Every structure is written in structure tokens, then in C-alpha cells.
Chain A
Amino acid sequence: MQAKERAYQWFINAVMALLACMCILPFILLVSSSITSQSMIIANGYSFLPREISFEAYAYIWNDAERIFNAYGVTILVTVLGTVLSLAVTSLLAYPLSRKDMPHRNFLAFFIFFTMLFNGGLVPVYLLYTQFFEFKNTVWALIFPMLLTNAFYVMIMRTFFQTTIPVEVIESGKMDGAGELKIFYKIVLPLSLPILATIGLFQTINYWNDWFNGLIFLTDSRLYSIQNLLNRILLDVQYLSSMDFGTAQDDLMAGLPTETIRLAIAVIGVIPIIAIYPFFQRFFVKGLTVGAVKG
């Protein structure tokens, strides 16, 4: 019996170790390849232990250090502000929809659901945000378009409100003389911390990873977020090295470590999120389990 149990433990651990390796090994390969030299990679291929340590790719990116720090600043601002605004808008929209006494709630819910299936397409979106709102080359262009509210999150949150907050609690608040707003932020929100944290985490990652808004709405490099900047460096390097109609630009290209830059950029982009993730994960797990038990 005990032997069987032990074998089972070994088996589970082996599977888990394998899965963990599948996640970690590529990352190690990425890091170690980013700190070797370009010609080493072309001559010998990728390897876990770099044969020759060289930081030429990082040195190239370091030339742009000022821009990179600025971009980190933009990203952090946008992420914090965006997540807070997004949580406020999402919960304020989801809460009324969860109330059974809300008039036309089915129509409104369908209206929101509809946006999950159809959207206007890129050009109308661009026109709306540049000509009607005049967001072009402002920090708002990174916060509002496409990211602020997501119908899916509204639906999740509405369901959470509906299933975990008993109507009686709300009614009791009303009997004690609280207004709708007070009920919302004194009773409903505190009871919903798990879902707020979960959606907050989703949104944090969405805002952190977003490069597309920057790609279409920004031409002012001071407003580039880190992902947008890295994406641009990457595309420019690819473009410069694949095109062959320049003459003097070859001087510039001669020493450019294109392959390793790509890897170094990935490392720089991913490190902060790795550093932050453990702190959020606590809420994340709790959010899912709490929701599961009560739901």
C-alpha cells in the first residue's frame, strides 16, 4: 500500500517536473543565448551554456537606455491608471446589470454582449479616437481604446455579483438608510475583492503587454510604452537588415547583432512581469477558489 502510494507520488512529481522544465528551459535558453555573440549563434546554433559571454546586444540596447527608462515610466503609469479606471468602469457597469430590479437590464446586457461578437473595425476605431476624441499622441490613447472595458469581464463580474451577494444584504443596507452608492462601495465592493483582484490582474497584464495602441496612435516617441518601444526596435532591426537598397546605411548595419538583440529584448520585456507576478498570484488563486466554492 505504502509502496503504491510512493510510486504514485514519484509519478506525479515526475510529471510536474517535466511540465516545469518545459516552461523554464526555453526561458533559460533565451537568457543564455541573449548573452552570447551573434557570430557564435550563427556558427554553432543555440546552446544552454553560452560558449562565449558577450553583452553586445545589451550594449546596443543600452545606447537607448534613456528611451527605455522613459518607456518603463509610461508603461507603469498607463498600467496603474488603466487598471484602476478599468476596474471602476467595469464594476460600475456590472453592478446595475446584476440587480434584478434594474429596468431594461436584459436589453442592456445584450447590448454589451453584442460588442463581443461584432466591432467596427480598425479604421472607424482610429477615426473615432483621433478625430472625435483627439487622443492621438496623448497618454489617453494608451488607456481608452480597446482596453478600458471588456464585455467579457463585465459579464464575469455581473455573474459574480449575482451569485455571491445575496439580495438580502443589499436590502438590509437599504433598510438602514444607505443610498445606492453607499451600498455599492460599502457593501458590494468589499464583498467582491476576489473578483476585483482577478480582473485587476487580467487588466494589469493587458495594459502591460499592450503595444498595438501605441503602434497606431503614437508618433511621439516620448509616449512609447516599453512593449511598443521593444516591438519597434525589433521591427526596425528586421527591416534594416532585410532591405537592400541603401548604400551608406551598410556602415550602420555592419555591426548590428540582430539575432541576439531580438533575444535580449524579450528578456528585458519579460523580467518586470516575472518580478511582479508572485505578489499578484496570491489574489489570483484566492479569487478563483473563492468564486468556485461560493458559486
Chain B
Amino acid sequence: MRKKFLWGIVFILIIAVISAGCSSGNQNSGGNNGNTNAASPNEENGKQPAQKELPPYEITMVFMGNESPDLERVAGELSKITKEKINATVKLQPISAGAWSQQVNLMLASNEKIDVITTSSIFGFSTQAASGHLLPLEDLLAQYGQGITELMDPAYLNAGKINGTQYAIPTNKDMATQGGIIMRKDLIDKYNIDLDKVKTVDDLDHVFQIIKENEPKLIPITTNTTFSPIDVLAFFDPLVDSLGVLPGHDNDLRVENLYEHPKYAELLTTMRRWYQAGYFSKDAATTTEQPYEVVRANRAFSWFNVMKVGSAENQSTRTGMEMVALPLTEAVSTTSNVTGFMHSIPKGSKDPERAMMFMNLLYTDQELVNMLNWGIEGEHYVKKSDHIIDYPEGFDIKSVRYNMNNSSYMFGNQFLNYVWTTQLEDIWEQVDQFNQNAKKSHALGFTFDSTPVRTESGAVNNVKQQFKLGLETGTLDPEKTLPEFISRLKASGIDKIIAEKQKQLDAWAESKK
């Protein structure tokens, strides 16, 4: 009996050793494959004397996404393009969104070899830059990134700077947002609601009243904890964290406390009025359900959402019924809009020059960008006309063997992308118009570094969490609670944060002159 047990252990250990051997063997052979691949086009490359002096190199690109079955094949095809142009092959390393912060910060901290990485103000870009994980890009950009500098508006490019040093290059995409409300078209038509009369937030009372009276089963406005209506209808530049803001996106660069601003109090009163009239659900301050799901389940009429080109169409697909998108604020471009997705070169890169050359291709090479986003033509997508594409016969978004979650805003120049049959045909012209018409916040390009006031930020955010949603959904009475909120914020040190922000903003404005 005991012998059998011992043999069992030995057996398992043997299996373990063998399987470990196999797996490392696979990796080795994978590496060798990479090398042989790299070697063979190299010979062809001899025909191109211009690039001859560049030694072969493998560019590791880390980005947010999931592994697709055909990822390595697409990387192979991409490598053919890059081999020819910059004598480098490409290795794609997707990291899933859920694991992103954790894994990327460890990879950066341990100096792993990464050449191009996605950075984002949502995922701690300023901390990564401040910790010295990212390389300064000015010189590289001037030398190898002319394609990028020619293409990008300097105002947007500057948003990738921290303390005057360029650490990231924003992807070229929609650069502004607009706050508004998404409503069900069937009900608007049914009750003959004239949307032309709705110009401001206070004009909405009338709409909600009709819905409340005639459709007692529907919640007129649904909301959730991710965005409150006031976040969406921002009349201010949040300067990253909304602690100290620029009202009206200008205010002569004077940072103010949002929660003391009369306009904020006014909006809270509106929310309170709506809450008391029953336009919000009773649990508006705590529910985490996605608004479009609530509408989809036929439980609600509308929700406040940020808007872009094609919002009505997108939300209609999400809810499964026709929706109307009604903008209520002007389109404004702030730092957070621009820095949502950027490319950086980490310190672990063995050849930053080549990484910049590759980045340059991401902004200029249409074939490369489309292959990265949509895969190989004929296999992962088919062309309907010159720039219109669709899935091949018998495939859809779930079954296609290469799928980047359609996150084309994450890579280089989004305007180079082909257009899907489900999209507006002239979407990129429209987005371009939208960008050009959008107002630029006076502080566009300024990124606040909260490290000097880290303690205060923590304390203030705790207070904010306690009051914000309750107030901004009208659940709490602003007359009683707002003064308490403000005094608690002051006790936690919000004034110190605002002073620090003002100091950094002044320095930033000075450096721009």
C-alpha cells in the first residue's frame, strides 16, 4: 500500500518534469522559429541597400486585448511589412483588460523587454512616467517620427507631456466629448415630444413629467455608480480628478473648488427636484447596473451619457431599440479625452530608435494599421468596396479567428481604418469635423501629478465617495448636505490639493509661452 503511494508520487513528479520539459522545449522551439523567420526575409532584404545598416530586431508590442487564435499568424504577416520597411519583426503581446494594471506595472518595474506599450491616463500614465519607467521621446520623435509630428495637432501631442517632457504619443482618434441624454425614440414619438425645445438641462423636466405620468412602470432617468449625471454634463475641465477644476474650461487658468461653485449647487438642486418628483429610481445612488441594460429590459426611458459621432446608432445596437441622442453641452477637448490611449516606449526597450520607427508606421501605414486591427484580408475580413469591409461569409464577431475587440482607437492613427458596413460610411470625415469643431479647453495638455499631495488626495476621495453620488442623484438634500460635504472636504485638505494644482498649472502655462 505504502509502496503504491510512493510510486504514485514518483509518477506524478516524473510527469511534472516531463511536462515542464515539454513546455520549455516548446518555448525554445518557438523562439527558434522566430529566429528562422527573421533570418529568411533578411536575405531578401539585401536587395534594399537603404535599410541594410539596420540589424534585425524583434519589436515587442504590449497592448490591451485578448488573445485570438490567429494572433501569431497576423503578427507574422505584420512582420513581413515591417521587415521590408525597418528590418524588424513584430511580436504582439496582448494583456487582458482585467489584468492590465497589475501585470503592466510589474513588467515595467522589472524592466522587461517591451518596445511599444499602450499607456493611458486611466491606467496610471503619470505615475509610470514619474517613476522613470518610460523613455523621453522628443529626440526620437524628431529623428524618426516625422510622420507623427506632421499628422498630429501639437495641442494634442502636448497632452502626452509630463512636466514638459514627452513620455507618450496619443493615438489619433476622436479627441473630444460632449454631454447629453440618450432617450427612447418610440416614446418620444408616441407622446409627440418636441426635442427642439429642449436646449438646457432644465428643459427636460417637461419630458420626464410626460413619461412619469403616462408610463408609470418606467424609470424616467436611470443612472449608475460609474457616471453621475453631473459627471456627464460637466461644465468644467476636471483637470484629471475633479478635485480643483476649471469652470467653463477656461476661467483664466484659475483652479476652483468644484463643490463650492454656484453652478454645481444649481445642478444639485435640479437633481434633487427630479429625485423628489420620482424621475430617478430610489436606489439611483448605489445601483451598478449598466443604463443601457436597464433600458433594454424595458425598465427605463433615458440616461445621461457622453456623446460622440454615431452615439445614437451605437446606443441603439446596445439597447436593441431605436434611441435618440440629444447633446446638452458643447463638445470640448480636455487632456483626459486625448490621453485615453497613447503609445510609449518603456525603459526596457533594447532599441528605442526602432520602436519609434515602428510607431511612426502605426500612424502612417494604412496596410499595417488595418492588419493590426482587423487581421488578414480574405480571412478575417473581406472588402465590399475600396474602404468598406465586412466579416467573411459565415463568420461574425464571435467566431472570427482574429478579433481585437474592435479597439482601433488604441492603435496609432484611427483615421486610416477601413469602415465596417455597420458604421456610418463617412464616419472618419465626421469624426474629423467633430474634432475640429470642438472647443479646446484652455488647460488641454496639462496633466496633474498628484504625488505631492497623495495623502490629501486619499482623504478627500474618501469624503467624495461618501457624498458625491448621494448628492448628484438627488438622493440627499443639497441644502442640508452640501455645506457638510464642503466642510468635510476642507477638513481633509482639498484646499492644499487645489493650491498644488494651481502651482503646477501656472508652471505649465509658463513653460508653454
Binds B, one of A92-100, A172-180, A242-250: A242-250
Q: Which of A246-281 contact B (CB under 8 A)?
A: 246-254, 258-259
Residue A46, interface by CB 8 Å: no
Residue B448, interface by CB 8 Å: no
Chain A contact surface mostly: helix
Q: Is the CB of A38 within 8 A of B297?
A: yes
**Given A238-B98, A250-B317: A138 in contact with B20 (beta carbons within 8 A):** yes
Q: Which of B306-339 contact A (CB under 8 A)?
A: 306, 308-310, 314-315, 317-318, 320
Binds A, one of B198-206, B375-383, B402-410: B402-410
Residue B27, interface by CB 8 Å: yes
Residue A164, interface by CB 8 Å: no
Q: Is the CB of A215 within 8 A of B406?
A: no
Residue B433, interface by CB 8 Å: no
User: Interface readout for B82-114 with A: 1 if CB under 8 Å, 0 if not?
Assistant: 000000000001111111001100100110100
Q: Is the CB of A254 within 8 A of B110?
A: no
Q: Is the CB of A43 within 8 A of B297?
A: yes
Binds A, one of B41-49, B207-215, B245-253, B287-295: B287-295
Residue B442, interface by CB 8 Å: no
Q: In the complex, which residue of chain A has the Cβ closest to the Cβ of B289?
A: A42
For B, the interface residue count at a CB cutoff of 8 angstroms equals 56
Q: Is the CB of A219 within 8 A of B95?
A: yes
A38 contacts which chain B residues (CB < 8 A)?
Answer: 293, 297
A236 contacts which chain B residues (CB < 8 A)?
Answer: 66, 96-98
Q: Is the CB of B106 within 8 A of A122?
A: yes
Expressed in whole angstroms, the Cα–Cα distance for A215 and B96 within the complex equals 10
Q: Is the CB of A140 within 8 A of B20?
A: yes
CB distance from B411 to the nearest CB of A (A): 13
**Given A247-B308, A250-B317, A254-B320: A123 in contact with B110 (beta carbons within 8 A):** yes
Residue A9, interface by CB 8 Å: no
Q: Is the CB of B422 within 8 A of A251?
A: yes
Q: Is the CB of A126 within 8 A of B423?
A: no
Residue A139, interface by CB 8 Å: yes
Q: Which of B97-139 contact A (CB under 8 A)?
A: 97-99, 102-103, 106, 109-110, 112
Expressed in whole angstroms, the Cα–Cα distance for A236 and B94 within the complex equals 13
Q: Is the CB of B110 within 8 A of A127?
A: yes
Residue A235, interface by CB 8 Å: yes
Q: Is the CB of B97 within 8 A of A250?
A: no
User: Interface readout for B158-181 with A: 1 if CB under 8 Å, 0 if not?
Assistant: 000000000000000000000000
Partner of A131, one of B103, B110, B315: B110
Binds B, one of A18-26, A76-84, A109-117: A76-84
CB distance from B14 to the nearest CB of A (A): 11
Residue B16, interface by CB 8 Å: yes
Interface residues of B (CB under 8 A from A): 2, 9, 12-13, 16, 19-20, 23-24, 27, 66-67, 93-99, 102-103, 106, 109-110, 112, 226, 289-290, 293-294, 296-299, 305-306, 308-310, 314-315, 317-318, 320, 340, 397-398, 405-409, 420, 422-423, 427
Known: A236-B66, A245-B409, A250-B315. 19 other contacts (CB 8 A): A42-B289, A42-B297, A43-B297, A77-B16, A81-B12, A84-B12, A122-B106, A126-B106, A126-B109, A216-B99, A219-B103, A221-B66, A240-B97, A244-B305, A247-B406, A247-B409, A252-B398, A254-B317, A258-B293
Closest 4 CB pairs of A and B: A235-B98, A39-B297, A42-B297, A239-B97
